[in-house]
């Protein structure tokens, strides 16, 4: 089973994009997810890449701005690409399946 549940804040305003000449839309954004470390008694933040497609992307781009808190469900997708120096880079993204708005007012991250 490949299922992820996260709660965090969006790190920047969302921009709806489209595939080439296709009408399929998507957004890519980063979710800042806090994690408490009981050993150090400190919070740390993980920055998680999230991708949403089609209607979910359209809804998020209309209503979410930097600092909004979201609950998301999705699946992990790994990938790779070659950068401008022809070095292989690896990626990990969460492909959004579902989401819930946690608050109406954004907090600045």
Could you read off the pLDDT of 56-99 as tens digits, one per residue? 999 999 999 999 999 999 999 999 999 999 999 999 999 999 99
pTM of the model: 0.86
The pLDDT value recorded for residue 33 is 97
Cα 104 to Cα 63, 99, 107: the distances in Å are 9, 14, 10
Give φ, ψ of 97 to 5 degrees.
Answer: -100, -40
What CATH number should be reported for the domain whose range is 4-101?
Answer: 2.40.50.140
Q: Looking at the predicted structure, is the pLDDT value of residue 108 above 60?
A: no
Give φ, ψ of 62 to 5 degrees.
Answer: -80, -35
- Report residue 23 CA to chain centroid gap: 21
């Amino acid at each position: 089973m490949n299922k992820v549940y996260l709660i965090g804040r969006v790190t920047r305003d969302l921009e709806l994009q489209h595939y080439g000449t296709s009408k399929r839309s998507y957004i890519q954004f980063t979710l800042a997810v806090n994690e408490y470390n009981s050993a150090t008694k400190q919070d740390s933040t993980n920055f998680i890449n999230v991708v949403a497609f089609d209607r979910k992307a359209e809804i998020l781009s209309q209503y979410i701005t930097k600092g909004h808190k979201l609950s998301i469900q999705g699946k992990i997708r790994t990938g790779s690409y070659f950068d401008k120096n022809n070095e292989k880079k690896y990626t990990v993204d969460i492909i959004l399946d579902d989401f819930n708005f946690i608050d109406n007012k954004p907090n600045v991250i």
